[in-house]
Amino acid sequence: MQNATFASVMLYTQQDLLFSAALAIYIATSVIVAIIRWGHRCEPFARHMDFFHPAWRTVVFCFLTNLLMLPVLFLPQEADSVMALRVMIMLGSPYFCAMFLFTHFGRMVNMGNWKVSLYLLSVPFIVLVLAAIWLAIMPGTQLQGVWARQLGAVSGTMAVIFLLSFIGAFILINRARRLFSEENYSSKEDFPKNFAVHAVILSSLHILVSWGVSFIGGKDVIAIGLLILSALIVAFLLIALNPHRALDVTFLEAENRVKELAEEVEHDVWDRAEPGSVLEAQPLSASRKNEILKIVRKAVEEDKAFLDSHLTLAHLSQLCGVNRTYLSAVLTESLGGFFYYINRCRMDFANKYRDENPNASVEDLAIASGFGSRQSFYNARKQLERGK
């Protein structure tokens, strides 16, 4: 009996044990990160997780799917299980990264079809991964020969599609950054630019390591790659836990309450409408536009709302008591847009402040004028000089 046990242990070579240990660390790291992301609730941001952490559910889901690698952990000596792991890594990396970027920034910029992208990516990923696992744990060598070529061709095609989706999400971030900042925020620093850069870099590194491991395919290489991926996961957790959106939580709660009241009023209007009648949003008349302009100029220029360094279109809409869509349209048509209007007011104030306080530093000037920081002041001045 002892000889039989010793012989079974000897079936696992040192290479197999290293491979299994690295995979165990990768799976454990993924699960721990998922648990921390699920349970991490810092007040007052916890009440608005979808605003401050738009992709938190996606992160939990993606990391927990690495539990599907558990069968491979106990079959390190099987060629089929190694092949299945390579398929899962090759598919999973671009899929996870694209999912995260689409969820986080797609939700942030209100991209209407971001959820469709998730569904289109998720279905083939789950089907292929489950197929690879089923073939790996079945007796025999299904993932060799014809099976290997067919699964490799389908998986490779889907992996390329996932990679293109990741590139598409990256393009989405770049295109949305200017529009998102200038139409909704008065300071470009309110858009989490640094977080976006870090997220893209870490995602790109994850894909490069994963694909390198998948194509080389040796157990030693896979083990080293899994350890590097575990480190990248930890690095991602460190940058993702803190909220990266600058907005006063008390205002956010007030804005949500305003939305709820508006929905209640809208439902009440529909409930009282005559059967068969059609309610339509009426276009703004010239007199209404002028009225909105007067309200805006009073709030921004006379009451100096522009001195709030984190002033948003939503906040200004609440201050003026004007529908946000109408307000944005009037600002764009008559004043060059929200970002340009607010920062022109700040720049005019800064010029007057400089004349009155010639010894003031640039930092003092920026803070006094509502820019919030010297860098924000320089960025806004450069943007205004460049024009639209």
The secondary element (H helix, E strand) that includes residue 193 is: helix 193-216
Residue 328 scores a pLDDT above 60: yes
Classified by CATH at the fold level, domain 250-268+282-386 comes out as Arc Repressor Mutant, subunit A (1.10.10)
How confident is residue 226, by pLDDT bands cut at 50, 70 and 90? Answer: very high
Question: Domain segments of the chain: what residues?
Answer: 11-246, 250-268+282-386
* pLDDT score at 332: 84
pTM: 0.65
Give per-residue pLDDT as tens, 334-358: 888 888 888 889 999 999 988 888 8
Measured CA to CA, the distance from residue 165 to residue 177 in angstroms comes to 18
Q: Of 116 and 169, which is predicted with more confidence? A: 169
What percent of the chain lies above the pLDDT cut of 90? Answer: 14
Adjacent-strand bridge partners of 185: 312
| 169-217 residue pLDDT tens | 888 777 766 655 555 666 665 567 778 888 889 999 999 999 999 888 7
pLDDT digits (tens, 9 = 90+) for 257-312: 544 444 443 344 334 444 433 333 456 678 888 888 899 999 898 888 888 887 87
Residue 363's contacts (CB-CB under 8 Å, 6 or more residues apart) are 373, 374
Beta bridge partners of 312: 185
Q: What is the mean pLDDT of residues 310-316?
A: 80
> What values do phi and psi take at 312, rounded to 5?
-120, 165
Tokens of residue 145, six digits:
């020969």
Burial annotation 262-293 (CB, 10 A radius, 16+ → b, else e): eeeeeeeeeeeeeeeeeeeeeebeeeeeeebe
Task: Indicate the DSSP class of residue 109.
Answer: T
144: three-class secondary structure by DSSP: coil
CA 77 to chain centre: 38
Separation CA 86–CA 218 (nearest Å): 10
Instruction: In whole angstroms, give the CA distance from residue 317 to residue 183.
Output: 13
Q: What is the reported pLDDT for 45?
A: 67
Quote the mean pLDDT of the chain. 77
pLDDT digits (tens, 9 = 90+) for 18-73: 999 999 999 999 999 999 988 877 766 667 677 777 788 888 988 998 998 888 88
The rounded distance, in Å, linking the Cα atoms of 386 and 370 is: 20
Query: If you average pLDDT over residues 84-88, what whole number do you get?
Result: 86
What percentage of the chain exceeds 70 in pLDDT? Answer: 74
Residue with tokens 């040192």, as numbered in its chain: 14
Q: Would the CA dihedral through 42, 48, 54, 59 be positive or negative? A: positive
Average pLDDT for 247-264: 48
